[in-house]
Structure 1
Amino acid sequence: MKNTSKIFFFLLLVLVVFACGPKKDTIIRRNYQALVTKYNVLFNGKEALNQGIEELNENYKDDWFERLPIEPIAFEEDKIIAPTFSNGPGTGFNNTNNSDKKPSTPFEKAEEKAVKAIQKHGMNINGIERNRQIDDAYLLLGKARYYQQRFIPAIEAFNYVIANYPNANLIAETKIWRAKANIRNDFEDTAIESMKLLLIIKDTLEADWSNEIKEKGYTAMAMAYVKSDSLQKAKESLKLATRTLDNTTQAARNLFILGQMYADENKKDSASQVFKRLVNFKKAPYKYRIHANIELARNTSNDSTSAIVLKTLDKLIKDRDNRPYLDELYYQKALLHERNDSIGLALSNYKKSLRAKDGSDKQKTFTFEKLGNLNFKDAKYQLASAYYDSILQISTDSLDLRIRRIKRKHKNLASLINFENIVDKNDSIIRIASMTQEEQKQFFEGYVAKIKKADEDAAQLRLNQLAFGNSGNSLGSSKKGSWYFYNSQSLNFGKTEFIKNWGVRKLEDNWRWSDKATIGGVKENVENENLVNARYDVNTYLKSIPSRTSTIDTLKLDRNQALYELGLIYKEQFKNNDLAIKRLERVNKLNPAKELILPINWHLYQIYNNTGNKDKAAIHKKVILEDYAETKFAQIINNPNADLKEEIEVSEVESTYKDYYYLYKDDKFEEAVTKINEYLPSIQQSELLPKFELLKALAIGKYKDKEAYKKSLEFVSVSYGNTEQGKRAKAILDKLTSK
C-alpha cells in the first residue's frame, strides 16, 4: 500500500511539472513560469545585483575637491570587453564554452540568474514571449553587463527589450539604461537624442512619466552633456532632475554637482541657493549635507555673511557626529579667517585641521600649502619649505599641476635654506672661536647642562609611558597587557638605560659593586661609557673649536659667499627687497672677497634706485663709477636711457643665436663678438639674452687676455646669477680665479 502511494504521488508530481512546462501556452503554464521566474530566479539575481552595487558604493571614495561625477562609479577607461555573439535573440548567452565556470562576482551571479530565467523559463511560442517576467530578466541582464563594463553586450540586451516589449511597464527605465551604456561607449549624442525622444517628445503611449523616471532620465541626459562638455545644458538637465527629490541619494548628488557647477562659474549666490536647499533636504545622505555646509562657507561672498557662516561652522565642529569631517571644517574656518585678515586665527585652525584624526591626505596637502604660503608671505622661508616638503611626502599625484608648482617652489627654497644654514652655522663657530677659553668653557658647560636636563626629562616621560601602560596600542605593545615586562619596547629602553648607567655586568650577587664593572664585557662597557660621556663632556666640544687662522678665514669666506647668494635669491627670485638689502649690506661690511665687491654694490644700487632711495643708491653708484669705471655696469649707469627696440619673436632670436654659435664653432671669435654686440640692444626683453651674453664671454676668452675674459664672465654671473648661464659663468670664473 505504501509503495503504491509513493508511486502515485511521484506520477502526480511528474504530471504537474509536465503540465507547467514552458513548451505550451496555457494559463497554468504562463502563471507558473512567471511565478517561478519572479520569486526564485530573478529575486536572487536582483539581490546579487544590489549586493554588487552596495560594494561599489562602499569602495568608491568621492574627491570633494573636484566636481563629483554624476554616477559614482570608477570605470577603467582603457578596459574593453568584446561582445559575445550567439544564436540566441541578441543575448549572447547560448555559448556553452564557459558553462562550467562559476560566477566570481555579484554581477556575474546576477547575469547568470538572468540567463537562467531566459533559457529555462522563457516561453517564446510562435515568436511571442508568453512569460511576462522575461523582459525583467533582459533588463537585469543588461544592468549586470553594464556594471561589468561590458557596454556593447549590455546595449544588445536593452535593445532586445525595446524591440520586443514596446509596451512593457519598464520600457522607459530600459531606454534610460541604454542611454547610460551609450554614454559609457562615447555615444553621448545618441544618448541625448534618445532621452529627448523619451522625456520631451514622448515616444510611447504614456501621457506622462512618473517622478522617478523623470529624475533618472534627466540625470542620464546630464551625464551625456557633461561627457560632451556642454555644461550649460548639463545644468539645465540637473535642474529638471531635481524638481522632485524622490530618489534621495541620487537627488542629493545631483544638487551637490549643480551647486559645484555654479561655484566653478563664480556664481556664488546661485551656488549658495542650491547648497542651502541640500542642507535643508533632511532625507539626503549626511555626507552630502555636511559638505553642502562646507561649500556654503567656501562660497561666502562678503564679510557680513562670513560671521554667520563662522558660527555655523563652530556649531558643526562641536557636534560629535562630525568628527570624521573635522579636518575639512577647520580648514574652511581657517580660510574664512584668512580672508578676513585674521591670520593668527587662520594659522590656529589650519593646524587644528592637520591634527584632526583620520584626516584625508589630499586635505592635508591643501592645509600644508596654505600654511606654507602664509609663512612664505611672512618671509619665514625655512618654515614654508618644511610645509611644502610635507606636501611632497604625502602626495602621490606627481602629474597634478598644483603639486608640480609646489615642487618647483620647494626646490627654489632649498638653495636659500642651505645658504641660511651655512650663515647660521659659520656665524656660531666664528663667534665661539672668538671667545676666551674661560668663556668657551662656561658656554659649553651651560649647553651640556641643558641637554642633560632635556635627556632626563625625555627618558622619564618615556619610562612613565611604557611602564604604566599609557603607550598601550599606540606604541604597538603586545596584546598580553600593559605591564612593563609585557612590552618589548619598554624592556629594550630599560636595558639601554641600564647599560648607559652601569655598563655590561654579569648576572650575580652584589653586581652593583664598583669592582664588578670590569667583569664580563669590559670592552663593551668602556665603549658605551665613552659614547655617553662624549655627549656630556665639555672637553669634547672644546676640542672641536677651530683655532687656526686659515680655518676661520675659510669659514668667513664661505659665510660671506652665502650672504651674497642669499641677497641675490631674495632680490631676483622672491622679490623681497628688505631681506636682500639686509644680507647684501651685511656682507658689504664684512670685508668680502674682491670679486664680490662689484656685484654687491651693483645689486644694492639697483634695489635702492628702483625703490626710490636715491641717497643710498648714490653711495653704491659712486663705488661703481670710481672703482670700476671700465666695466659694463658703469656704462649702464652712465647711459640708462638707451633706446631698446621691441622684443623679437623667440623663434627668430633662436635662429640668430644658432648663426652666431656656428661662427664661434668655426673659430670666428671676433666676428661673433661684433655681431652679438650689434644684436644685443634689440633683444633686451628676450629670455635668451643670457645665452648671447655667455656666448660673447666665451668668444672673448678665445682671443683676448685673461682679465678681459674674467670681466665678461663676471658681468654674466652677476647680471644673470639665477639663470643656467649665470651659474655656468660663475663656475668658469671660480676656476680661473683659483688658478
Structure 2
Amino acid sequence: MKKSYYLLPLTIVTSIVFSCSTKKDSVINRNFHALTTKYNVLFNGEQAFEKGLKGIEENYTDNFWKRLPIEPIKFNERSIGAIKFASPGDGFDNKDKESSKPATPFDRAEEKAVKAIQKHSMNIKGYEKNRQIDDSYLLLGKARYYTQRFIPAIEAFNYIIANYPKADLIYDTKVWRAKSNIRLDNEKLAIESLKLLVALDENEKNLSKVQRQSAYTALAMAYEKADSIQKVIENLTKSIELTRNHQSARNAFVLGQIYSELGRKDSARMVFRKLADGRGIPEKYRVHASIELVKNIEAKDSSNVLLIDRMRKLIRNTDNRKYLNELYFQAGVLQEDRGNIEKAIEYYLKSLEEQSNDVYQKTHAYERLGNIYFNKQDYLLAGSFYDSVLQVTTEEFENEKRIRRIKRKNKGLTKLKNYEETVITNDSILRLVAMTPDERTIFFEGYIEKLKEADENKRQRLLNSQNFGSQFGGGASFGGNNQGKWYFYNNQSKGFGKVNFQKTWGTRPLEDNWRWSDKSQVDTDAVEEEEEVQTEKTDSKYKVETYLSKIPTDPAVIEKLREDRNAALYQLGLIYKEQFKNPELAIKNLEELLVTNKKPELILPINYHLYQLYGQENEKEKEAAKKTLILNDYPNSKFAQIINNPDSKISNDKKVSEVDEKYKYAYAIYKEKCFEDVVNQVDILWEDIENSDLIAKFALLRALAIGKYKTKEEYKKALEFVTSNYPNSIEGQEANEIIKRIK
C-alpha cells in the first residue's frame, strides 16, 4: 500500500517531464504544448498586441480636411525596413535577448511569439505537430508590421503560407503579406496575390465576409498607391457592401471623399447621407459625414436650409461637444453661402472660442474671417486674422499652397498697415505744423477736455462697479448690517475688481513691491519718487504746453515727414492697384499724392498709374486728360511708347501677354531710375507671376534694382536668390557672373 502511495506522484511527475519534450509525437505532448502555447505565451502576446492597437487608435488623429488614409496609421517612410528596436524577435538564435525590455507593446508581442516558437514548436520529420505555431507566426508577422519592419514580417507570413497551406488563418496571412508589400511599394505584387485570392474565393466560397472585406480593403490600398482611382472606388464599394463595422464606415467615408475630389457631388452626398443617417455608425464618421454634406452642397442649393437645421440639431446635441468647433465652422460656411455674413462671422468666432487641439480647423476659421473683412475692404482687420492663421499653423502644414498664399497676402497687408499708419501719423503732425499758435492752443484745449471727460467716465464706471459689488458683500464688509459677507466671498464682485486691477497693472505676481517691474534697486525714496513722477505725468497730460512742446519746428524734420508721407501714399496706390485690385482706393491715394508731391521724377509714374486706373473705372475724360499729359510732356518716355503702341509685338511676332506687359512696365520704371519702385512692384506682382516663364527675368531685374540703392551684401543676396532658384536659366548664369565680379 505504501509503495502505491509513493508511485502515483512519481508517475505524474514522470508524465509531465516526458510531455515537455518537443521531439516526441504523442497525444499528451501535442496537447500539452498546444495548451501551454495558447493559454500562456500566445495569450500574453495577443494581449500586448491588442494594447498596441489601442495605443495607435488613441494616438492617431484623423485630419478630416484631407482624404483619410484607408488604414488609420502613419508610418515614417524614411525608416521603412529598418530594425528599430533591439528587442526579442529580431532572430531566433539570440538567447540573451529575453532579458531586454521591449520598447513597445508590439515588441512585447513579438517577444512572446518568438518564445512560443522557440520553446513549443514540435517540428517532427518536417511536420509541425503544435497547431498553435501558425498563430504564433501570424502574431510575429503582424507585430513586425506595426514596428515598420515589413521585410521580416513578410518572412513570417511566407513561412505560414509555405508550411501551413490548409490552416484556418491562411487567408488572413495572405492579406497581411499583401499589406506589407504595399508598404514596401510592391503594390503590383500585392494586387496580383489579392486578385488571385478573391478570384479563387468566388468559386470556393471559403472566405468569411470579414475576410473578404479585408481583401477588398487591401486591394483599395494597393490601387491607391498605384494611382488607379477607379479601381480604388470599385474595391471600396465592394468592401462596404459585405458587413457593417468600423472599417466599413471608414471605407465609406473615404469613398465619399474620393467622389468629392472627382467632382461627383451627387455620389458624394449619397454616401455621406447614408453615413450621417445610418445606425451603428461610429460617432466621428457620423458627425463628419454631416459636415461633408455641407462641403459638397452647391451655394444656391435649396437643401442648404435643411443642412442649416441639421447643423443646429448637432450643435444642440450635448454628445457632440468635442466636435463643436467644426460644427460651428460649417454652420458659418452655410450662412456665408446664403449671404448672411454677420451670422457667418458669429459662427466662425464661436468655432474659435471652442477648446480644441485641431489647429488645422482654426487656420480655416481665421482664413474665412480674414477673407470676409478683406472683401469688406477692412484690410487692417483682415491682416490681423491672417496673422492668426500663421501663428497657429504648425510645421506640418506651413508648406501647403494655401498657407503660402496667405503668407504672401499677409505680407502685402503688413506693408499696407505700416504705410497707412505712416500717412495717418505724419498727416496729423503736418496739420498741427500748419496751424497758427492760437489754433494749436484751441485744438489741444478741446483735446484735453475730451481726455478729462473720458477719464471721468472711466472713474465713474469703476466706482459703479465697486458699488455694485458692495451690494453683494463687497463694500461694507467690516461692521454695518452686512452680516459678515466679505467682498472676496462674492465671485461676481471679486471678478469686477480683478478686471479693473489687471486693466491698470496687468498681471503681477504676489510679492513685495509688486508695482515695480525691476526690483533690484527698490527703496523707500525710490517709491516716493515714482509716486511723484506718476502724479506729475497725470497732471502734465492735462496741460496744453505738454503737447505744444512736441510739435516739430526744425524744417529738415518737417520735410522728412512730408517725404515719408508721400512715399507711403505712392506705395499704398501701388498695393491697392496691383495686389488688392481696388482701383477706388488706389486713385484716392495717388490723387492725394499728386497734390502733395514735390519730386519731379514721380510725376510721370503717378500720372501713368492714374491713366490706367481711370481706364479701369471707365472714366473716359480723366483717362484722356492723363494720356494727353503724358504724350505732350513726356513724349520720349517708355510710358508714352507703351500708350502709343499698346498692341506692340515682340521679336517672335506673338502677341504680348499680360505678364510681358507687367515686365515691360517694371523695366520702364527701372529705366526711369525709380529703383525702389521696381523692387516694390515685383514684390507685389510675385504671386501672379511665380509660375510664369519670365519669373527669372523679374527676379534678376529686382536684384539689379536692389544693387542701385542698397548695400553690396543685399545686392549679392538678391543675386544669389536668382542663381539658386533659376540656375539653368540665362538670368541665373548672368547673376552668377555678376557675383564673381563682385567678389
TM-score (norm 2): 0.79
| Pair 1:618–1:558, CA change in 2 (3 A) | same
- CA offset at residue 31 of structure 1? 2.0
CA contact (8 A) 1:328 1:353 kept: yes
CA contact (8 A) 1:91 1:156 kept: no
Deviations 1:88-109 (A, max 9, x none): xx99323335233132321111
Matched, 1:685 2:665: no
Work out the CA distance in 1 between the residues paired with 2:78 and 2:709: 54
Matched, 1:619 2:625: yes
CA contact (8 A) 2:41 2:112 kept: yes
User: Corresponding residue for 2:690?
Assistant: none
User: Corresponding residue for 1:723?
Assistant: 682
Relative to structure 2, which stretch is displaced further, 533-542 or 99-108?
533-542
Relative to structure 2, which stretch is displaced further, 374-383 or 145-154?
374-383
Deviations 1:582-627 (A, max 9, x none): 1122222346444333332222122213432111223333443454
User: Corresponding residue for 2:686?
Assistant: none
Work out the CA distance in 2 between the residues paired with 1:367 and 1:576: 25
User: Corresponding residue for 1:292?
Assistant: 289
**Matched ranges for 1:62-73 at <5 A:** 62-73=62-73
Provide the secondary structure at the position in 1 that maps to 2:177. helix
- CA offset at residue 80 of structure 1? 3.9
Aligned residue type for 1:15: T
CA contact (8 A) 2:638 2:668 kept: no
Matched, 1:567 2:573: yes
Number of residue pairs aligned between Structure 1 and Structure 2: 655
Aligned residue type for 1:35: L
Provide the secondary structure at the position in 2 that maps to 1:723. helix
User: Corresponding residue for 2:728?
Assistant: none
Matched, 1:496 2:515: yes
CA contact (8 A) 1:467 1:490 kept: no
| Pair 1:318–1:691, CA change in 2 (3 A) | closer
- CA offset at residue 728 of structure 1? 6.8
Work out the CA distance in 2 between the residues paired with 1:135 and 1:409: 60
CA contact (8 A) 2:678 2:705 kept: no
Deviations 1:495-537 (A, max 9, x none): 53999xxxx997xxxxxxxxxxxx7854444455456666676
Relative to structure 2, which stretch is displaced further, 437-446 or 220-229?
437-446
Provide the secondary structure at the position in 1 that maps to 2:302. helix
Work out the CA distance in 2 between the residues paired with 1:100 and 1:459: 73
| Pair 1:462–1:421, CA change in 2 (3 A) | farther
Work out the CA distance in 2 between the residues paired with 1:412 and 1:334: 27
Work out the CA distance in 1 between the residues paired with 2:74 and 2:413: 38
| Pair 1:467–1:531, CA change in 2 (3 A) | farther
Aligned residue type for 1:14: V
User: Corresponding residue for 1:229?
Assistant: 227
- CA offset at residue 332 of structure 1? 1.2
**Matched ranges for 1:220-369 at <5 A:** 220-246=218-244, 248-301=245-298, 302-358=300-356, 360-369=358-367
**Matched ranges for 1:203-222 at <5 A:** 206-222=204-220
Deviations 1:64-101 (A, max 9, x none): 111111111111111144579xxxxx993233352331
Work out the CA distance in 2 between the residues paired with 1:505 and 1:593: 57
- CA offset at residue 457 of structure 1? 5.7
- CA offset at residue 178 of structure 1? 0.9
User: Corresponding residue for 2:368?
Assistant: 370
- CA offset at residue 632 of structure 1? 4.3
Matched, 1:196 2:202: no
| Pair 1:174–1:613, CA change in 2 (3 A) | same
| Pair 1:78–1:535, CA change in 2 (3 A) | farther
| Pair 1:104–1:605, CA change in 2 (3 A) | closer
Provide the secondary structure at the position in 2 that maps to 1:589. helix
| Pair 1:145–1:629, CA change in 2 (3 A) | closer
Deviations 1:271-301 (A, max 9, x none): 1111122123322221111101100111113
Work out the CA distance in 1 between the residues paired with 2:291 and 2:226: 29
Work out the CA distance in 2 between the residues paired with 1:73 and 1:422: 52
| Pair 1:493–1:462, CA change in 2 (3 A) | farther
- CA offset at residue 489 of structure 1? 4.5
User: Corresponding residue for 1:130?
Assistant: 129
Work out the CA distance in 2 between the residues paired with 1:545 and 1:614: 44
| Pair 1:525–1:49, CA change in 2 (3 A) | same
- CA offset at residue 181 of structure 1? 1.0
Work out the CA distance in 2 between the residues paired with 1:66 and 1:566: 38
| Pair 1:97–1:250, CA change in 2 (3 A) | same
Work out the CA distance in 2 between the residues paired with 1:596 and 1:17: 104
CA contact (8 A) 1:683 1:689 kept: no
Aligned residue type for 1:126: K
**Matched ranges for 1:120-199 at <5 A:** 120-199=119-198
Matched, 1:605 2:611: yes
CA contact (8 A) 2:669 2:678 kept: no
- CA offset at residue 154 of structure 1? 1.0
User: Corresponding residue for 1:384?
Assistant: 382
User: Corresponding residue for 1:541?
Assistant: 547
Deviations 1:183-209 (A, max 9, x none): 111111111111111111339x94332
Work out the CA distance in 2 between the residues paired with 1:192 and 1:682: 48
Work out the CA distance in 1 between the residues paired with 2:96 and 2:516: 70
Relative to structure 2, which stretch is displaced further, 722-731 or 267-276?
722-731
Work out the CA distance in 2 between the residues paired with 1:189 and 1:488: 63
| Pair 1:534–1:187, CA change in 2 (3 A) | farther
Aligned residue type for 2:154: I
Work out the CA distance in 1 between the residues paired with 2:155 and 2:706: 71
Aligned residue type for 1:644: K
User: Corresponding residue for 1:644?
Assistant: 649
| Pair 1:726–1:447, CA change in 2 (3 A) | farther
CA contact (8 A) 2:275 2:289 kept: yes
| Pair 1:123–1:315, CA change in 2 (3 A) | same
Matched, 1:447 2:440: no
Work out the CA distance in 1 between the residues paired with 2:104 and 2:453: 67
Deviations 1:304-346 (A, max 9, x none): 1111111101111111121211111121122222222322222
| Pair 1:166–1:641, CA change in 2 (3 A) | closer
Aligned residue type for 1:152: I
Relative to structure 2, which stretch is displaced further, 69-78 or 564-573?
564-573
| Pair 1:730–1:458, CA change in 2 (3 A) | farther
CA contact (8 A) 1:441 1:542 kept: no
Work out the CA distance in 1 between the residues paired with 2:231 and 2:558: 73
| Pair 1:47–1:682, CA change in 2 (3 A) | closer
CA contact (8 A) 1:570 1:576 kept: yes
CA contact (8 A) 2:81 2:148 kept: yes
Work out the CA distance in 2 between the residues paired with 1:682 and 1:387: 35
CA contact (8 A) 2:610 2:626 kept: yes
Work out the CA distance in 2 between the residues paired with 1:83 and 1:340: 55
Work out the CA distance in 2 between the residues paired with 1:469 and 1:114: 63
Sequence identity (%): 44
- CA offset at residue 564 of structure 1? 2.2
User: Corresponding residue for 1:596?
Assistant: 602
Work out the CA distance in 2 between the residues paired with 1:268 and 1:338: 20
Provide the secondary structure at the position in 2 that maps to 1:131. coil
Work out the CA distance in 1 between the residues paired with 2:536 and 2:425: 26
CA contact (8 A) 1:30 1:131 kept: yes
Work out the CA distance in 2 between the residues paired with 1:734 and 1:102: 62
User: Corresponding residue for 1:713?
Assistant: 673
User: Corresponding residue for 2:430?
Assistant: 430
Matched, 1:557 2:554: no
User: Corresponding residue for 2:418?
Assistant: 418
Provide the secondary structure at the position in 2 that maps to 1:722. helix
